[in-house]
């Protein structure tokens, strides 16, 4: 089990999007004492590779609205 993926899923992200964020965009996750406390959503959206992850980006935008 991966705690970051589980924490993202607990925040409402589907598994595939949680895995993508953890693997490719972990720098936009904010941790305190190894616990996920926030997501820099604006930066995540602006820096996500739109050509490679267009569908995932659209899904992310919907979740964060």
Concatenate the DSSP letters of all residues of 2-13 into one string: -HHHHHHHHTT-
Nearest Cα neighbor of 35 from 8, 64, 1, 16 is 8
pLDDT for residue 1:
61
Every domain of the chain and the residues it spans: 3-64
| Backbone φ and ψ of 2, nearest 5° | -110, 115
pLDDT for residue 60:
96
- Cα separation, 2 vs 60, in Å, equals 20
- Cα separation, 48 vs 9, in Å, equals 19
Nearest Cα neighbor of 39 from 49, 10, 56 is 10
Encode the chain (65 residues) as per-residue pLDDT tens digits: 689 999 999 999 999 999 999 999 999 999 999 889 999 999 999 999 999 999 999 999 999 88
pLDDT for residue 17:
97
């Amino acid at each position: 089990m991966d705690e970051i993926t589980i924490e993202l899923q607990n925040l409402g992200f589907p598994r595939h999007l949680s895995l993508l964020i953890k693997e490719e965009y972990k720098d936009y996750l904010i941790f305190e004492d190894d616990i996920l406390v926030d997501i820099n959503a604006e930066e995540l959206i602006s820096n996500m590779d739109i050509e490679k992850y267009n569908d995932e980006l659209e899904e992310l935008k919907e979740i964060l609205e």
